[in-house]
Amino acid sequence: MSRTFRLKTPFSERGLEKLNIGDKILLSGVIFTVRDAAHKLIKKQIDEGKKTPFNLKGSVIFYAGPTPSKPGNPIGSIGPTTSYRMDRYAPFFYSLGVKATIGKGSRSKEVILAQKKYKAVYLAAVGGVAALLARHVKKAKVIAYPELGTEAIRKLWVEDFPCIVANDIHGNDIYKKR
Amino acid sequence: MRKISVNKIREKVAMLCKKANYKLPDDVKSAIKEAYNKEKSELGKDVLSQIIKNYEIAENSKVAICQDTGIAIFFIKIGEDVKIVDGDIYDAVNEGVRNGYLEGYLRASIVKDPLYERENTLDNTPAIIHLEIVSGKNLEITLMPKGAGSENMSKMTILTPSASEEDIENFVVKTVKEGGANACPPLIVGVGIGGNLESCTLLSKKALLRKIGTQNPNSKYSQLEKKILKKINKLGIGPAGFGGIYTALAVYIETSPCHISNLPICVNLNCHAARRASLII
Protein backbone atom coordinates (compact mmCIF):
# COMPACT_ATOMS: atom_id res chain seq x y z
CA MET A 1 0.00 0.00 0.00
CA SER A 2 1.24 3.46 -0.88
CA ARG A 3 1.56 6.04 1.88
CA THR A 4 -0.33 9.30 1.55
CA PHE A 5 0.99 12.65 2.77
CA ARG A 6 -0.82 15.96 2.90
CA LEU A 7 1.77 18.65 2.25
CA LYS A 8 1.57 22.43 2.40
CA THR A 9 3.63 24.83 0.31
CA PRO A 10 6.11 26.52 0.48
CA PHE A 11 8.39 23.61 1.33
CA SER A 12 11.22 23.50 3.83
CA GLU A 13 13.94 20.87 3.58
CA ARG A 14 12.90 18.86 6.59
CA GLY A 15 9.55 17.58 5.45
CA LEU A 16 10.94 16.23 2.20
CA GLU A 17 13.35 13.74 3.73
CA LYS A 18 10.61 11.33 4.69
CA LEU A 19 9.25 11.12 1.17
CA ASN A 20 9.89 8.05 -0.95
CA ILE A 21 9.06 7.37 -4.57
CA GLY A 22 5.53 6.07 -4.99
CA ASP A 23 4.19 8.03 -2.01
CA LYS A 24 0.90 9.76 -2.77
CA ILE A 25 0.83 13.48 -2.11
CA LEU A 26 -2.14 15.77 -1.62
CA LEU A 27 -0.73 19.24 -2.08
CA SER A 28 -2.22 22.47 -0.74
CA GLY A 29 -1.06 26.07 -0.88
CA VAL A 30 0.54 28.19 -3.61
CA ILE A 31 2.30 26.72 -6.64
CA PHE A 32 3.51 28.47 -9.81
CA THR A 33 3.04 27.39 -13.43
CA VAL A 34 6.22 27.72 -15.43
CA ARG A 35 6.65 26.12 -18.86
CA ASP A 36 9.33 26.16 -21.57
CA ALA A 37 9.15 29.82 -22.62
CA ALA A 38 8.91 31.19 -19.06
CA HIS A 39 11.91 29.14 -17.92
CA LYS A 40 13.94 30.82 -20.63
CA LEU A 41 12.72 34.28 -19.57
CA ILE A 42 13.29 33.81 -15.82
CA LYS A 43 16.80 32.51 -16.51
CA LYS A 44 17.47 35.58 -18.66
CA GLN A 45 16.20 37.90 -15.91
CA ILE A 46 18.44 36.23 -13.35
CA ASP A 47 21.45 36.39 -15.70
CA GLU A 48 20.79 40.13 -16.10
CA GLY A 49 20.71 40.55 -12.33
CA LYS A 50 16.97 41.30 -12.23
CA LYS A 51 14.42 40.12 -9.70
CA THR A 52 12.52 36.89 -10.37
CA PRO A 53 8.73 37.08 -10.85
CA PHE A 54 8.21 35.12 -7.60
CA ASN A 55 10.31 34.04 -4.64
CA LEU A 56 12.00 30.81 -5.67
CA LYS A 57 13.03 29.82 -2.12
CA GLY A 58 10.93 26.85 -1.04
CA SER A 59 8.69 27.25 -4.06
CA VAL A 60 6.91 24.57 -6.05
CA ILE A 61 6.91 24.85 -9.84
CA PHE A 62 4.19 23.20 -11.91
CA TYR A 63 5.04 22.51 -15.55
CA ALA A 64 1.66 23.37 -17.01
CA GLY A 65 -0.23 25.63 -19.39
CA PRO A 66 -4.00 25.71 -18.85
CA THR A 67 -6.84 26.14 -21.31
CA PRO A 68 -8.61 29.52 -21.02
CA SER A 69 -11.00 29.54 -18.07
CA LYS A 70 -14.72 29.48 -18.66
CA PRO A 71 -16.62 32.32 -16.98
CA GLY A 72 -17.20 31.42 -13.33
CA ASN A 73 -14.30 28.96 -13.13
CA PRO A 74 -11.01 29.96 -11.46
CA ILE A 75 -9.05 28.17 -14.19
CA GLY A 76 -9.50 26.12 -17.34
CA SER A 77 -8.39 22.51 -17.70
CA ILE A 78 -4.88 22.16 -16.35
CA GLY A 79 -2.50 19.23 -16.10
CA PRO A 80 1.20 18.48 -16.21
CA THR A 81 3.23 18.78 -19.39
CA THR A 82 6.21 16.49 -20.11
CA SER A 83 9.03 17.43 -17.76
CA TYR A 84 12.14 16.41 -19.71
CA ARG A 85 11.87 19.60 -21.78
CA MET A 86 12.66 21.56 -18.63
CA ASP A 87 15.63 19.33 -17.69
CA ARG A 88 18.09 21.90 -19.06
CA TYR A 89 16.85 24.44 -16.53
CA ALA A 90 15.88 22.33 -13.53
CA PRO A 91 19.31 22.00 -11.80
CA PHE A 92 19.69 25.80 -11.99
CA PHE A 93 16.24 26.36 -10.46
CA TYR A 94 16.83 23.79 -7.73
CA SER A 95 20.14 25.53 -6.92
CA LEU A 96 18.18 28.74 -6.32
CA GLY A 97 15.88 27.13 -3.79
CA VAL A 98 13.02 25.60 -5.75
CA LYS A 99 11.99 22.62 -3.63
CA ALA A 100 9.72 20.72 -5.96
CA THR A 101 8.71 20.52 -9.58
CA ILE A 102 5.48 18.92 -10.75
CA GLY A 103 5.21 17.42 -14.21
CA LYS A 104 4.95 14.07 -15.95
CA GLY A 105 7.51 11.64 -17.33
CA SER A 106 11.07 10.83 -16.40
CA ARG A 107 13.95 13.25 -15.70
CA SER A 108 17.61 13.18 -16.73
CA LYS A 109 20.45 11.92 -14.56
CA GLU A 110 21.62 15.52 -14.06
CA VAL A 111 18.23 16.55 -12.69
CA ILE A 112 18.11 13.60 -10.28
CA LEU A 113 21.62 14.45 -9.05
CA ALA A 114 20.59 18.07 -8.55
CA GLN A 115 17.56 16.95 -6.54
CA LYS A 116 19.86 14.94 -4.29
CA LYS A 117 22.30 17.81 -3.96
CA TYR A 118 19.72 20.51 -3.22
CA LYS A 119 17.30 18.25 -1.34
CA ALA A 120 14.43 18.82 -3.72
CA VAL A 121 11.84 16.47 -5.14
CA TYR A 122 10.04 15.84 -8.40
CA LEU A 123 6.35 15.09 -8.18
CA ALA A 124 4.38 13.51 -11.01
CA ALA A 125 0.75 14.30 -11.63
CA VAL A 126 -1.30 12.21 -14.06
CA GLY A 127 -1.16 13.57 -17.60
CA GLY A 128 -4.42 13.99 -19.51
CA VAL A 129 -6.70 14.43 -16.49
CA ALA A 130 -6.79 18.21 -16.68
CA ALA A 131 -10.52 18.64 -16.07
CA LEU A 132 -10.19 16.72 -12.81
CA LEU A 133 -7.01 18.50 -11.66
CA ALA A 134 -8.60 21.90 -12.37
CA ARG A 135 -11.08 21.15 -9.58
CA HIS A 136 -8.20 21.28 -7.10
CA VAL A 137 -7.27 24.81 -8.19
CA LYS A 138 -9.23 27.29 -6.10
CA LYS A 139 -7.77 30.53 -7.42
CA ALA A 140 -5.39 31.56 -10.19
CA LYS A 141 -3.64 34.75 -11.18
CA VAL A 142 -1.26 35.61 -14.01
CA ILE A 143 1.79 37.18 -12.36
CA ALA A 144 4.28 37.44 -15.24
CA TYR A 145 4.63 37.32 -19.01
CA PRO A 146 0.94 37.60 -19.94
CA GLU A 147 2.03 37.93 -23.57
CA LEU A 148 2.94 34.23 -23.52
CA GLY A 149 -0.75 33.26 -23.31
CA THR A 150 -1.02 29.81 -21.81
CA GLU A 151 2.73 29.88 -21.05
CA ALA A 152 2.44 32.92 -18.74
CA ILE A 153 3.45 32.39 -15.12
CA ARG A 154 0.39 31.77 -12.99
CA LYS A 155 0.15 31.74 -9.25
CA LEU A 156 -2.22 28.92 -8.30
CA TRP A 157 -3.85 28.30 -4.97
CA VAL A 158 -4.40 24.54 -4.82
CA GLU A 159 -6.18 22.24 -2.43
CA ASP A 160 -5.41 18.53 -2.09
CA PHE A 161 -3.85 18.52 -5.53
CA PRO A 162 -3.04 14.82 -6.23
CA CYS A 163 0.42 13.77 -7.31
CA ILE A 164 2.98 11.13 -6.45
CA VAL A 165 6.66 11.29 -5.56
CA ALA A 166 8.50 10.40 -8.78
CA ASN A 167 12.02 11.35 -7.64
CA ASP A 168 12.82 11.63 -3.94
CA ILE A 169 15.79 13.46 -2.40
CA HIS A 170 17.62 10.15 -2.03
CA GLY A 171 18.11 9.80 -5.79
CA ASN A 172 15.37 7.25 -6.44
CA ASP A 173 13.32 7.32 -9.63
CA ILE A 174 9.89 5.74 -10.01
CA TYR A 175 10.38 5.43 -13.75
CA LYS A 176 13.45 3.24 -13.24
CA LYS A 177 11.95 1.13 -10.48
CA ARG A 178 9.69 -1.05 -12.59
CA MET B 1 -22.73 18.44 -58.68
CA ARG B 2 -23.80 18.92 -55.08
CA LYS B 3 -22.90 22.35 -53.79
CA ILE B 4 -21.58 22.69 -50.24
CA SER B 5 -20.94 26.15 -48.88
CA VAL B 6 -17.80 26.94 -46.93
CA ASN B 7 -20.08 28.62 -44.39
CA LYS B 8 -21.48 25.24 -43.48
CA ILE B 9 -18.00 23.71 -43.30
CA ARG B 10 -16.76 26.49 -41.01
CA GLU B 11 -19.71 26.01 -38.67
CA LYS B 12 -19.37 22.22 -38.55
CA VAL B 13 -15.62 22.39 -37.98
CA ALA B 14 -16.09 24.73 -35.00
CA MET B 15 -18.59 22.28 -33.54
CA LEU B 16 -16.24 19.32 -34.09
CA CYS B 17 -13.39 21.12 -32.29
CA LYS B 18 -15.50 21.45 -29.16
CA LYS B 19 -17.01 17.98 -29.35
CA ALA B 20 -13.67 16.24 -29.88
CA ASN B 21 -12.04 18.04 -26.97
CA TYR B 22 -14.89 17.56 -24.49
CA LYS B 23 -16.04 14.02 -25.19
CA LEU B 24 -13.86 10.95 -25.43
CA PRO B 25 -15.07 8.39 -28.03
CA ASP B 26 -17.12 5.54 -26.50
CA ASP B 27 -14.70 2.83 -27.63
CA VAL B 28 -11.81 4.59 -25.84
CA LYS B 29 -13.91 4.98 -22.69
CA SER B 30 -14.78 1.26 -22.71
CA ALA B 31 -11.15 0.26 -23.18
CA ILE B 32 -10.10 2.44 -20.24
CA LYS B 33 -12.83 0.96 -18.05
CA GLU B 34 -11.74 -2.53 -18.97
CA ALA B 35 -8.13 -1.63 -18.13
CA TYR B 36 -9.29 -0.25 -14.78
CA ASN B 37 -11.05 -3.53 -13.98
CA LYS B 38 -8.04 -5.64 -14.91
CA GLU B 39 -5.09 -3.50 -13.76
CA LYS B 40 -3.20 -5.10 -10.88
CA SER B 41 -0.92 -2.26 -9.76
CA GLU B 42 -2.30 -0.03 -7.03
CA LEU B 43 -0.90 3.19 -8.48
CA GLY B 44 -1.92 2.09 -11.97
CA LYS B 45 -5.50 1.51 -10.88
CA ASP B 46 -5.49 4.86 -9.13
CA VAL B 47 -4.36 6.57 -12.36
CA LEU B 48 -7.08 4.82 -14.38
CA SER B 49 -9.71 5.87 -11.88
CA GLN B 50 -8.53 9.49 -12.25
CA ILE B 51 -8.75 9.11 -16.03
CA ILE B 52 -12.35 7.85 -15.77
CA LYS B 53 -13.38 10.65 -13.39
CA ASN B 54 -11.71 13.14 -15.68
CA TYR B 55 -13.51 12.19 -18.88
CA GLU B 56 -16.80 12.19 -17.00
CA ILE B 57 -16.18 15.74 -15.69
CA ALA B 58 -15.05 16.95 -19.11
CA GLU B 59 -18.07 15.52 -20.89
CA ASN B 60 -20.61 16.70 -18.31
CA SER B 61 -19.16 20.18 -17.76
CA LYS B 62 -18.15 20.69 -21.38
CA VAL B 63 -14.53 21.46 -20.62
CA ALA B 64 -11.35 20.19 -22.25
CA ILE B 65 -10.36 16.61 -21.35
CA CYS B 66 -6.70 17.65 -21.46
CA GLN B 67 -5.16 21.12 -21.31
CA ASP B 68 -3.22 20.20 -24.43
CA THR B 69 -6.08 20.54 -26.86
CA GLY B 70 -3.58 19.73 -29.54
CA ILE B 71 -2.76 20.67 -33.03
CA ALA B 72 -5.99 20.18 -34.99
CA ILE B 73 -5.47 17.47 -37.58
CA PHE B 74 -8.19 17.09 -40.22
CA PHE B 75 -8.82 14.17 -42.52
CA ILE B 76 -11.31 15.35 -45.07
CA LYS B 77 -12.83 13.14 -47.75
CA ILE B 78 -14.45 15.08 -50.57
CA GLY B 79 -16.80 13.21 -52.83
CA GLU B 80 -16.00 13.86 -56.50
CA ASP B 81 -19.56 15.07 -57.07
CA VAL B 82 -19.16 17.84 -54.48
CA LYS B 83 -18.47 21.43 -55.42
CA ILE B 84 -17.23 23.69 -52.63
CA VAL B 85 -18.79 27.13 -53.05
CA ASP B 86 -18.55 30.61 -51.47
CA GLY B 87 -14.84 30.36 -50.74
CA ASP B 88 -11.83 28.21 -50.05
CA ILE B 89 -12.03 24.98 -48.05
CA TYR B 90 -8.68 25.48 -46.32
CA ASP B 91 -9.71 28.95 -45.14
CA ALA B 92 -13.06 27.60 -43.96
CA VAL B 93 -11.44 24.85 -41.90
CA ASN B 94 -9.00 27.28 -40.31
CA GLU B 95 -11.75 29.77 -39.53
CA GLY B 96 -13.74 26.93 -38.00
CA VAL B 97 -10.75 26.00 -35.84
CA ARG B 98 -10.31 29.63 -34.79
CA ASN B 99 -13.98 29.94 -33.82
CA GLY B 100 -14.22 26.53 -32.19
CA TYR B 101 -11.09 26.95 -30.09
CA LEU B 102 -11.97 30.47 -28.99
CA GLU B 103 -15.66 29.79 -28.25
CA GLY B 104 -14.86 26.44 -26.65
CA TYR B 105 -12.20 27.76 -24.23
CA LEU B 106 -9.66 25.46 -25.82
CA ARG B 107 -5.96 26.12 -25.65
CA ALA B 108 -4.08 27.84 -28.44
CA SER B 109 -0.92 25.78 -28.82
CA ILE B 110 0.48 26.75 -32.22
CA VAL B 111 3.51 28.97 -32.81
CA LYS B 112 3.93 30.70 -36.15
CA ASP B 113 7.66 30.24 -36.64
CA PRO B 114 9.09 26.90 -35.48
CA LEU B 115 12.65 28.02 -34.74
CA TYR B 116 13.13 31.75 -34.22
CA GLU B 117 10.20 33.81 -32.93
CA ARG B 118 7.97 30.94 -31.80
CA GLU B 119 5.15 33.40 -31.35
CA ASN B 120 1.78 31.86 -30.44
CA THR B 121 -0.87 32.48 -33.11
CA LEU B 122 -3.36 32.62 -30.20
CA ASP B 123 -6.19 30.89 -32.07
CA ASN B 124 -4.70 27.44 -32.67
CA THR B 125 -4.45 27.96 -36.41
CA PRO B 126 -3.25 26.81 -38.82
CA ALA B 127 -4.63 23.29 -38.71
CA ILE B 128 -3.03 20.33 -40.47
CA ILE B 129 -5.40 19.42 -43.29
CA HIS B 130 -5.28 16.17 -45.27
CA LEU B 131 -7.67 16.19 -48.22
CA GLU B 132 -8.66 13.09 -50.12
CA ILE B 133 -10.93 12.79 -53.15
CA VAL B 134 -13.35 9.87 -52.94
CA SER B 135 -16.38 8.82 -54.97
CA GLY B 136 -19.84 10.08 -54.07
CA LYS B 137 -21.42 13.37 -53.10
CA ASN B 138 -20.61 13.64 -49.41
CA LEU B 139 -18.05 15.58 -47.46
CA GLU B 140 -16.65 13.65 -44.49
CA ILE B 141 -14.67 15.56 -41.90
CA THR B 142 -12.67 13.83 -39.17
CA LEU B 143 -10.79 15.79 -36.55
CA MET B 144 -8.04 14.43 -34.32
CA PRO B 145 -6.81 17.02 -31.83
CA LYS B 146 -3.41 15.61 -30.97
CA GLY B 147 -1.27 16.64 -28.03
CA ALA B 148 2.49 17.00 -28.21
CA GLY B 149 3.27 14.71 -25.27
CA SER B 150 2.65 11.60 -27.32
CA GLU B 151 3.65 13.12 -30.66
CA ASN B 152 7.11 13.99 -29.31
CA MET B 153 7.79 10.36 -28.43
CA SER B 154 6.89 9.04 -31.90
CA LYS B 155 9.54 7.69 -34.27
CA MET B 156 10.14 6.88 -37.90
CA THR B 157 12.88 4.95 -39.63
CA ILE B 158 13.51 3.29 -42.94
CA LEU B 159 14.61 -0.31 -42.63
CA THR B 160 16.01 -2.45 -45.44
CA PRO B 161 14.07 -5.22 -47.22
CA SER B 162 16.02 -7.78 -45.17
CA ALA B 163 14.17 -6.64 -42.02
CA SER B 164 12.17 -9.37 -40.32
CA GLU B 165 8.89 -9.37 -38.45
CA GLU B 166 10.97 -9.36 -35.30
CA ASP B 167 12.82 -6.22 -36.38
CA ILE B 168 9.47 -4.49 -36.77
CA GLU B 169 8.33 -5.68 -33.33
CA ASN B 170 11.59 -4.52 -31.78
CA PHE B 171 11.37 -1.06 -33.31
CA VAL B 172 7.82 -0.55 -32.03
CA VAL B 173 8.51 -1.96 -28.56
CA LYS B 174 11.75 0.06 -28.26
CA THR B 175 9.91 3.26 -29.18
CA VAL B 176 7.38 2.60 -26.42
CA LYS B 177 10.06 1.53 -23.95
CA GLU B 178 12.05 4.72 -24.46
CA GLY B 179 9.27 7.28 -24.63
CA GLY B 180 6.11 5.58 -23.45
CA ALA B 181 6.13 6.94 -19.91
CA ASN B 182 6.23 10.51 -21.27
CA ALA B 183 3.41 9.96 -23.73
CA CYS B 184 0.58 9.55 -21.18
CA PRO B 185 0.00 5.80 -21.09
CA PRO B 186 -2.11 3.72 -21.47
CA LEU B 187 -1.26 4.45 -25.08
CA ILE B 188 -2.71 3.73 -28.44
CA VAL B 189 0.08 2.75 -30.79
CA GLY B 190 -0.29 3.51 -34.49
CA VAL B 191 2.16 1.76 -36.77
CA GLY B 192 2.67 2.53 -40.45
CA ILE B 193 4.56 -0.04 -42.45
CA GLY B 194 5.49 0.64 -46.09
CA GLY B 195 4.92 3.59 -48.37
CA ASN B 196 7.76 6.09 -48.33
CA LEU B 197 9.17 8.73 -45.99
CA GLU B 198 6.10 10.97 -45.87
CA SER B 199 3.32 8.49 -46.59
CA CYS B 200 4.50 6.06 -43.90
CA THR B 201 4.11 8.68 -41.20
CA LEU B 202 0.63 9.48 -42.46
CA LEU B 203 -0.24 5.75 -42.36
CA SER B 204 0.75 5.61 -38.70
CA LYS B 205 -1.42 8.61 -37.96
CA LYS B 206 -4.38 7.16 -39.86
CA ALA B 207 -3.95 3.97 -37.83
CA LEU B 208 -4.81 6.04 -34.76
CA LEU B 209 -8.23 6.80 -36.25
CA ARG B 210 -9.28 3.18 -35.93
CA LYS B 211 -11.79 2.25 -33.26
CA ILE B 212 -10.48 0.18 -30.35
CA GLY B 213 -11.47 -3.41 -30.94
CA THR B 214 -10.95 -3.33 -34.71
CA GLN B 215 -8.11 -5.24 -36.30
CA ASN B 216 -6.15 -5.20 -39.51
CA PRO B 217 -8.16 -7.18 -42.12
CA ASN B 218 -5.04 -9.11 -43.10
CA SER B 219 -4.68 -11.92 -40.54
CA LYS B 220 -0.85 -11.77 -40.58
CA TYR B 221 -0.95 -8.13 -39.57
CA SER B 222 -3.74 -8.59 -37.06
CA GLN B 223 -1.67 -11.33 -35.43
CA LEU B 224 1.30 -8.96 -35.39
CA GLU B 225 -0.83 -6.26 -33.77
CA LYS B 226 -1.73 -8.67 -30.96
CA LYS B 227 1.83 -9.90 -30.58
CA ILE B 228 3.24 -6.38 -30.28
CA LEU B 229 0.53 -5.33 -27.81
CA LYS B 230 1.41 -8.29 -25.61
CA LYS B 231 5.11 -7.38 -25.68
CA ILE B 232 4.37 -3.72 -24.89
CA ASN B 233 2.23 -4.67 -21.93
CA LYS B 234 5.06 -6.76 -20.55
CA LEU B 235 7.27 -3.67 -20.28
CA GLY B 236 5.70 -2.74 -16.95
CA ILE B 237 5.50 1.00 -17.72
CA GLY B 238 1.81 1.03 -16.83
CA PRO B 239 -0.71 3.87 -16.50
CA ALA B 240 1.06 7.27 -16.28
CA GLY B 241 4.36 5.36 -16.21
CA PHE B 242 3.89 4.54 -12.52
CA GLY B 243 4.10 0.81 -13.21
CA GLY B 244 1.44 -1.72 -14.16
CA ILE B 245 0.03 -3.93 -16.88
CA TYR B 246 -1.65 -1.35 -19.09
CA THR B 247 1.07 0.46 -21.01
CA ALA B 248 -1.06 0.30 -24.16
CA LEU B 249 -4.73 -0.22 -24.93
CA ALA B 250 -4.26 -1.13 -28.58
CA VAL B 251 -1.77 -1.48 -31.43
CA TYR B 252 -2.94 -0.74 -34.96
CA ILE B 253 -0.95 -1.47 -38.08
CA GLU B 254 -1.68 0.11 -41.44
CA THR B 255 0.34 -0.92 -44.47
CA SER B 256 1.08 0.31 -47.96
CA PRO B 257 3.16 -0.96 -50.92
CA CYS B 258 6.74 0.27 -50.92
CA HIS B 259 9.93 0.42 -52.99
CA ILE B 260 11.96 -2.75 -53.68
CA SER B 261 14.89 -1.23 -51.79
CA ASN B 262 13.33 -0.34 -48.44
CA LEU B 263 10.86 -1.00 -45.65
CA PRO B 264 9.68 2.23 -43.98
CA ILE B 265 8.18 2.06 -40.51
CA CYS B 266 6.68 4.75 -38.33
CA VAL B 267 5.33 4.54 -34.79
CA ASN B 268 2.90 7.28 -33.86
CA LEU B 269 1.95 7.16 -30.21
CA ASN B 270 -1.33 8.50 -28.91
CA CYS B 271 -2.16 9.21 -25.29
CA HIS B 272 -5.13 7.76 -23.38
CA ALA B 273 -7.01 10.99 -24.18
CA ALA B 274 -7.33 9.66 -27.71
CA ARG B 275 -9.66 12.27 -29.09
CA ARG B 276 -11.37 12.14 -32.45
CA ALA B 277 -14.70 13.18 -33.90
CA SER B 278 -16.27 12.89 -37.34
CA LEU B 279 -19.24 14.10 -39.26
CA ILE B 280 -20.63 13.85 -42.74
CA ILE B 281 -22.13 16.77 -44.66
* Residue where a domain terminates, one of B146, B161, B196: B146
* Å between A162 CA and nearest CA of chain B: 10
Q: Does residue B46 sit within a domain?
A: no
Q: Does residue B55 sit within a domain?
A: no
Q: Does residue B179 sit within a domain?
A: yes
- Chain B environment of A65 (Cβ under 8 Å): 67, 107, 109
Q: Does residue B47 sit within a domain?
A: no
Structural domain count, chain B: 2
For position B84, which CATH number holds?
3.30.360
Q: Does residue B100 sit within a domain?
A: yes
Question: Which of B50, B63, B118 faces A76 most closely, judged by CB atoms?
Answer: B63
Whether A56 contacts A30, CB under 8 Å: no
Instruction: Please confirm, yes or no, whether A170 is among the known catalytic residues.
Output: no
Same domain, B189 and B158: yes
* Residue where a domain terminates, one of B108, B123, B146: B146
First to last CA, chain B: 14
Nearest CA to A9 among A78, A77, A79, A98?
A98
* Å between B131 CA and nearest CA of chain A: 29
- Whether omega for the bond prior to residue A10 falls within 30 degrees of 0, making it cis, is yes
Same domain, B140 and B168: no
Cα B264–Cα B265–Cα B266 angle in degrees, nearest 5: 130
**pLDDT digit string (tens) for chain B, length 281 residues:** 999 999 999 999 999 999 999 999 999 999 999 999 999 999 999 999 999 999 999 999 999 999 999 999 999 999 999 999 999 999 999 999 999 999 999 999 999 999 998 989 999 999 999 999 999 999 999 999 999 999 999 999 999 999 999 999 999 999 999 999 999 999 999 999 999 999 999 999 999 999 999 999 999 999 999 999 999 999 999 999 999 999 999 999 999 999 999 999 999 999 999 999 999 99
Question: Which of A69, A128, A133 faces B105 most closely, judged by CB atoms?
Answer: A69
Same domain, B199 and B116: no
Same domain, B9 and B138: yes
Task: Count the alpha carbons within 13 Å of A151 in the hemisphere toward its beta carbon.
Answer: 19
Same domain, B174 and B128: no
Q: Does residue B239 sit within a domain?
A: yes
Same domain, B186 and B263: yes
* Å between A106 CA and nearest CA of chain B: 7
Residue A177 pLDDT greater than 80, yes or no: no
pLDDT tens across A92-151, in order? 999 999 999 999 999 999 999 999 999 999 999 999 999 999 999 999 999 999 989 999
Q: Which domains are seen in chain A, by residue range?
A: 4-177 (3.20.130.10)
- Catalytic residue chosen out of the listed positions A21, A27, A39, A144: A39
Q: Does residue B6 sit within a domain?
A: yes
Same domain, B123 and B169: no
Question: Which of A131, A151, A177 faces B63 most closely, judged by CB atoms?
Answer: A131
A104 to B149: CB separation less than 8 angstroms, yes or no: yes
> What is the spatial distance between Cα B126 and Cα B128, in angstroms, rounded to a whole number?
7
Does A82 contact chain B (CB < 8 Å)?
A: yes
- Domain holding B241, by residue range, is 149-274
Same domain, B221 and B255: yes
B243 to A70: CB separation less than 8 angstroms, yes or no: no
Length of chain B: 281
Question: Which of A106, A128, A134 faces B272 most closely, judged by CB atoms?
Answer: A128
Does A131 contact chain B (CB < 8 Å)?
A: yes
* Residue where a domain terminates, one of B100, B127, B146: B146
- Strand partners for A62: A33, A102
B182 to A105: CB separation less than 8 angstroms, yes or no: yes
| Neighbouring C-beta atoms of residue B264, cutoff 10 Å | 23
* Å between A23 CA and nearest CA of chain B: 10
Interface test with A, best of B67, B232, B269 (most A CBs within 10 A): B67
List all residues of chain A from 4 to 33 with a beta carbon under 8 Å from chain B.
Answer: 22, 24
* Å between B86 CA and nearest CA of chain A: 32
Same domain, B88 and B128: yes
Cα B241–Cα B153–Cα B161 angle in degrees, nearest 5: 120
| 3-state SS assignment for residue A102 | strand
pLDDT tens across B27-52, in order? 999 999 999 999 999 999 999 999 99
- Chain A environment of B241 (Cβ under 8 Å): 104-106, 124, 174-175
Q: Does residue B261 sit within a domain?
A: yes
Question: Which of B46, B107, B238 faces A67 most closely, judged by CB atoms?
Answer: B107
Same domain, B69 and B197: no
Same domain, B187 and B73: no
Same domain, B115 and B247: no
pLDDT tens across A27-77, in order? 999 999 999 999 999 999 999 999 999 999 999 999 999 999 999 999 999
Q: What is the pLDDT of residue A178?
A: 58
